Amino acid sequence: MYCFRPVISTGISPYPSKELNLMSTTATLKRLGQYLLKYPVRLILVFLLTLMAAGLTLLGPYLTGAALDRYIIPGRYEGFLELCILLIAVAILSSLVSWLQSIILAEVSQRTVWSLRRDLFQHLQQLPIPFFAGKSHGELMSRTTNDIDNVSNTLNQSLVQLISSVIMLIGSLTMMLFLNIWLTLIALVTAPLITFFAKWISRRTQVQFKGQQQELGQMNGFIEETVSGHKVVHLFHQESRIAAEFNETNERLKKVGIRAQIFSGVMGPFMNLFGHTTYLLIAAVGGWLAVRDLTTVGIIVSFLGYSRQFSGPLNEVANQYNMIQAGVAGAERVFEILDIPSEYEDEASLGHLKPITGKVEFKGVSFQYDTGKEILKEITFTANPGETIALVGPTGAGKTTIVNLLGRFFEINEGSILIDGTDISTVSKNSLRAQLSIVLQDAHLFSGTIRDNIRYGRLEATDEEVEEAAVQAHAHLFISRLAQGYLTELSAEGGNISQGQRQLITIARAILADRALLILDEATSSVDTLAEIQIQKAIKQVIAGRTSFIIAHRLSTIRHADTILVIKDGQIVEQGNHEELLLREGLYYELHGSGKGFEEEEESGKMDELELLPPSYVK
Ligand SMILES: Nc1ncnc2c1ncn2[C@@H]1O[C@H](COP(=O)(O)OP(=O)(O)OP(=O)(O)O)[C@@H](O)[C@H]1O
């Protein structure tokens, strides 16, 4: 389970660093509005209920004033009971309406956020590889969690608050004007002060909160790193240094946290002070007017109620300002991702790659990443169906890039790549990749059972087929020795099985997928001898009968390849089989002699060892 809030680990603050650009804010709100408008009936209902709740709230002070003027002061109690019942009914109805409104609103906002989250996740799955290369996982996670959270909070709280605040502002102002114009002017005197002060405080509070989020981000990033790298920490006895470093961050977070709370805590009491002053002013002037018979006590009481209802929304809007900003910033960051063209866009017109035999031709392929530096130059070679092509060469030579181009994870700049004579740029990526299996060096497994992980290669495979693939991948033996067998739960971090075993599972996955083309990035990490033998056997099995491209590090793999491509600085400097290349006495010969280019392991000894194992062990 992911324990850290990714937004925190990347130090991304939900509080926007600068005032949002008005144009982009309007555009973002419009788009968010489109999501909301998917539920028009509920939305109209929420609006009507908000209107009703505000109307009922506005009725309260009027009725209280009327009770005073008509019944209490003249001492006439006929009809007073009815008025009291009406007041109670208004209060009950008002609560009921607010309750209904919050239920419907919760549904609308949750549905909106649900569809936003769904769209974002689906879109993320379809984004091209280069997009991910430039983003940290934490940042992407933060867009699907924290940014969406901010949108959700804004929709849940600020939206209705804003609507009802506006209604209350207009409503109470109208009522005040209706009751007494002079008292209204007094009430309005403090309004600009309140607005100004609220903005002043909220700006300062925001800076503190931003600082708090940043410190929190750093601290969590630190925790995340030390937890995931705890082995290294222990190994190098860094525990006390780490603890001291943590204390420093923790201290900074405490200080900024206290400042943030002090600033935000100032808002309430000061707003109260303004409120009480206005209240006092109105009461005093109102009393003076009443004494001179220029108004009635009832009107003053009603008026005091409305003045409260008028200043309340002003505070509210000021308080909601931060949240609305965070929500809009969150939505903006979500839409930013949704606007990146998906990998499969503009593919509708492309053809479908028919089932292939596996002939692959690279013809004068040149390629550069966004950096503009030419990485591959004039790569030309042919792989016939069923052949094994080993790619060898120094690190950074361009081996991974070549195999990435085969799956069209990047687009080439020059030349062409043909599969069974079809240019791969003329067929859809989906149909191309459906013919391709990839076994990566850092065997990636998902949380779930071993069976599910193997089945990832072909979802409709039966349990028997999964086991058969595991047998062929030499994984069956270790799996059946586990207490839960194929039902053993794996963690994404893979703490419960070894590196070699993970590799075998990914090979089983590729065998099950049974594609005509295979790309295999041989692991360089050293696994124990027995696992090494198993992996070699499994590789032999998986490459049999399919055109395979192996980024090879082991001599045993390279020797058996039909063609070895020796890559250096993005060019094929030599190609041929093991014997031919040795005879040539070029780079391959050098690498072979020095053992620098690949691991100098003679397989014979190990293979002999393997033969000695009981048949049930090697399967
Ligand atoms: N996404 C990328 N953006 C920009 N440059 C890249 C990218 N990926 C790789 N490169 C650069 O392209 C060159 C070839 O990289 P590539 O990964 O293909 O080499 P390699 O031969 O597979 O190396 P290794 O054996 O170490 O895996 C390197 O100089 C690398 O820095």
Per DSSP, the three-state class of 565 is strand
Give Cβ neighbours of residue 141 (< 8 Å, ≥ 6 apart). 2, 6
Cα(400) to ligand 1 centroid in Å equals 7
Asked if residue 347 is part of any domain, the answer here is no
Regarding the beta carbon of 395 and ligand 1, being less than 6 Å apart is answered yes
- Read off the pLDDT of residues 404-445 as tens digits, 9 standing for 90 and up: 899 888 889 999 999 999 999 999 888 898 888 888 877 778
pLDDT mean over 511-519: 91
112 with 251, same domain: the answer is: yes
Range of the domain at 427: 360-435+515-618
**Residue 551, Cβ density class (10 Å: 0-12 exposed, 13-18 middle, ≥19 buried):** buried
101 with 13, same domain: the answer is: yes
505 with 531, same domain: the answer is: no
299 with 406, same domain: the answer is: no
Query: What is residue 25's predicted lDDT score, i.e. its pLDDT?
Result: 75
Cα(260) to ligand 1 centroid in Å equals 46
Query: What is residue 462's predicted lDDT score, i.e. its pLDDT?
Result: 92
189 with 177, same domain: the answer is: yes
425 with 457, same domain: the answer is: no
Query: What is residue 266's predicted lDDT score, i.e. its pLDDT?
Result: 82
Q: Whose Cα sits closest to atom 18 in ligand 1?
A: 398
Worst-scoring range by mean pLDDT, 122-131, 258-267, 490-499, 546-555? 490-499
Distance of alpha carbon 391 from alpha carbon 398, whole angstroms: 9
Give Cβ neighbours of residue 239 (< 8 Å, ≥ 6 apart). 233
Closest of 119, 124, 121, 136 to residue 8, by C-alpha: 136
pLDDT mean over 526-535: 73
431 with 391, same domain: the answer is: yes
30 with 54, same domain: the answer is: yes
For residue 404, the ligand 1 atom closest to its alpha carbon is: 18
Cα(370) to ligand 1 centroid in Å equals 12
- Read off the CATH number of the domain in which 208 is found: 1.20.1560.10
Cα(446) to ligand 1 centroid in Å equals 26
> Cα 406–408–413 angle (5° rounding)?
95
Cα(395) to ligand 1 centroid in Å equals 8
For residue 391, the ligand 1 atom closest to its alpha carbon is: 21
Query: What is residue 614's predicted lDDT score, i.e. its pLDDT?
Result: 33
pLDDT mean over 124-141: 73
Distance of alpha carbon 490 from alpha carbon 496, whole angstroms: 7
pLDDT band of residue 135 (cuts 50, 70, 90) is: low
Regarding the beta carbon of 371 and ligand 1, being less than 6 Å apart is answered yes
Cα(567) to ligand 1 centroid in Å equals 12
Worst-scoring range by mean pLDDT, 65-79, 383-397, 437-451, 519-533? 519-533
Q: Name the percent of the chain lying above pLDDT 90.
A: 20
Q: Whose Cα sits closest to atom 5 in ligand 1?
A: 369
Between 550 and 137, name the one with better pLDDT: 550
Regarding the beta carbon of 218 and ligand 1, being less than 6 Å apart is answered no
Regarding the beta carbon of 487 and ligand 1, being less than 6 Å apart is answered no
Which residue has 């509005």 as its token pair?
Answer: 33
Contact between 256 and 211 (Cβ < 8 Å): yes
Which of 338, 368, 390 lies at the terminal end of a domain, its last residue? 338
Regarding the beta carbon of 375 and ligand 1, being less than 6 Å apart is answered yes
Cα(360) to ligand 1 centroid in Å equals 22
Query: What is residue 41's predicted lDDT score, i.e. its pLDDT?
Result: 93
Asked if residue 346 is part of any domain, the answer here is no
Contact between 124 and 148 (Cβ < 8 Å): no
pLDDT band of residue 611 (cuts 50, 70, 90) is: very low
Q: Give the tokens for residue 131.
A: 């997009």
- Read off the CATH number of the domain in which 498 is found: 3.40.50.300
Between 527 and 367, name the one with better pLDDT: 367
Q: Give the tokens for residue 55.
A: 């109307």
Q: What is the pTM of this model?
A: 0.68
Q: Give the tokens for residue 178.
A: 């209706």
Asked if residue 456 is part of any domain, the answer here is yes
Q: Whose Cα sits closest to atom 10 in ligand 1?
A: 369
Does the pLDDT at position 464 exceed 90? yes
- Helices and strands in the chain, H and E counts: 24, 12
Query: What is residue 23's predicted lDDT score, i.e. its pLDDT?
Result: 64
Q: Whose Cα sits closest to atom 26 in ligand 1?
A: 395
Regarding the beta carbon of 265 and ligand 1, being less than 6 Å apart is answered no
Asked if residue 111 is part of any domain, the answer here is yes
Asked if residue 345 is part of any domain, the answer here is no
Regarding the beta carbon of 397 and ligand 1, being less than 6 Å apart is answered yes
Q: Whose Cα sits closest to atom 25 in ligand 1?
A: 395
Q: Name the percent of the chain lying above pLDDT 70.
A: 88
pLDDT mean over 593-606: 50
307 with 189, same domain: the answer is: yes
Ligand 1 pocket test: pick from 399, 520, 525, 568 the residue with the most ligand atoms within 8 Å of its Cβ: 399
455 with 426, same domain: the answer is: no
Distance of alpha carbon 438 from alpha carbon 511, whole angstroms: 10
Regarding the beta carbon of 369 and ligand 1, being less than 6 Å apart is answered yes
Q: Whose Cα sits closest to atom 30 in ligand 1?
A: 396
pLDDT band of residue 250 (cuts 50, 70, 90) is: very high
Q: Whose Cα sits closest to atom 6 in ligand 1?
A: 369
Distance of alpha carbon 370 from alpha carbon 368, whole angstroms: 7
Mean pLDDT of the chain: 81
Cα(445) to ligand 1 centroid in Å equals 24
Which of 496, 514, 532 lies at the terminal end of a domain, its last residue? 514
252 with 308, same domain: the answer is: yes
For the chain, the first-to-last Cα distance in angstroms comes to 35
DSSP string for residues in 429-492: HHHHHTTEEEE-SS----SEEHHHHHHTT-TT--HHHHHHHHHHTT-HHHHHHSTTGGGPEEPT
Regarding the beta carbon of 373 and ligand 1, being less than 6 Å apart is answered no
CA–CA distances in Å: residue 375 to residues 378, 406, 455, 559: 10, 15, 36, 27
Worst-scoring range by mean pLDDT, 53-57, 181-185, 200-204, 427-431? 200-204
Does the pLDDT at position 129 exceed 80? no
Regarding the beta carbon of 132 and ligand 1, being less than 6 Å apart is answered no
Ligand 1 pocket test: pick from 367, 371, 400 the residue with the most ligand atoms within 8 Å of its Cβ: 400
- Read off the pLDDT of residues 187-201 as tens digits, 9 standing for 90 and up: 888 778 777 877 788
Q: Whose Cα sits closest to atom 28 in ligand 1?
A: 396
Asked if residue 353 is part of any domain, the answer here is no
Does the pLDDT at position 6 exceed 60? no
For residue 521, the ligand 1 atom closest to its alpha carbon is: 27
73 with 157, same domain: the answer is: yes
Beta strands at 414-419 and 489-490: parallel, antiparallel or unpaired:
unpaired
Asked if residue 431 is part of any domain, the answer here is yes
Query: What is residue 126's predicted lDDT score, i.e. its pLDDT?
Result: 85
Query: What is residue 500's predicted lDDT score, i.e. its pLDDT?
Result: 83
Cα(399) to ligand 1 centroid in Å equals 8
Regarding the beta carbon of 398 and ligand 1, being less than 6 Å apart is answered yes
Which residue has 């002037």 as its token pair?
Answer: 285
Does the pLDDT at position 618 exceed 60? no
Regarding the beta carbon of 240 and ligand 1, being less than 6 Å apart is answered no
Which of 308, 338, 368 lies at the terminal end of a domain, its last residue? 338
Distance of alpha carbon 460 from alpha carbon 465, whole angstroms: 10
Query: What is residue 492's predicted lDDT score, i.e. its pLDDT?
Result: 62
Query: What is residue 495's predicted lDDT score, i.e. its pLDDT?
Result: 61
For residue 410, the ligand 1 atom closest to its alpha carbon is: 1
Does the pLDDT at position 493 exceed 90? no
Q: How many domains does the chain have?
A: 3
Query: Burial code of 276-285, b = ≥16 C-beta within 10 A, e = fewer?
Result: eebbebbbeb
Asked if residue 568 is part of any domain, the answer here is yes
